[in-house]
Amino acid sequence: MLDSNAIETLAVNAVCDRVVLSPCLDEYIHKKDKEPSVDGFVNLYKSGGKTKDNFYGRVAVQVKGSQKRISNKNDKVKFPVEISDLNFYLKEGGVVYFFVWISSDGKQRRIFIMSFSQ
């Protein structure tokens, strides 16, 4: 098992690695973030490049990593989210929540995506 800092770093890196491949997304997700309830933002751009003129908006993101065993049944993952976080997401207009499963050696990662919004 990896320590919590390694798990967080691997989880954030997995999400950032996928986001950066999109021509319409740019990530501003922080490791070891202490901001309440979110880890950063993903900027959204219209087609045509990542410029101010093509900027569409941004969405708050939260990244959680875990090495706990997950069920392959229907590719569903369950994990607790605090009520205070859900209330925060509601006030902020929503969040995209990334759950990243990490293998015991850290070499395999699997990303699950959920969104909470109004």
Does residue 22 surpass a pLDDT of 70? yes
Cβ atoms of 60 and 27 closer than 8 Å: no
Query: Which residues of 1-118 form beta strands (DSSP E)?
Result: 25-29, 40-45, 55-66, 95-102, 109-116
pLDDT at 115 (0 to 100): 79
Torsion angle of alpha carbons 35, 36, 38, 40, nearest 10°? -20
pLDDT at 71: 67
pLDDT-derived band at 27, boundaries 50, 70, 90:
very high
Express each pLDDT in 29-59 by its tens digit: 988 767 778 899 999 999 878 999 999 999 9
3-state helix, strand, coil in the chain (%, to 5): 25, 35, 40
**Residue 74 main-chain phi, psi, to 5 deg:** 60, 15
Task: Tell me the whole-structure pTM to 2 decimals.
Answer: 0.85
pLDDT of residue 7 exceeding 70: yes
pLDDT of residue 25: 94
- Between CA 25 and CA 42, with CA 49 as vertex, the angle to 5 degrees is 20
Q: Express each pLDDT in 67-118 by its tens digit.
A: 987 766 666 777 788 899 888 888 888 899 999 999 999 999 999 988 777 6
The structural domains of the chain, ordered by start, are 4-116 (3.40.1350)
Give the DSSP H or E segment for 19.
helix 4-19
The phi and psi torsions of 41 (rounded to 5 degrees) equal -140, 155
Query: In whole angstroms, what is the distance from residue 34 CA to residue 96 CA?
Result: 18
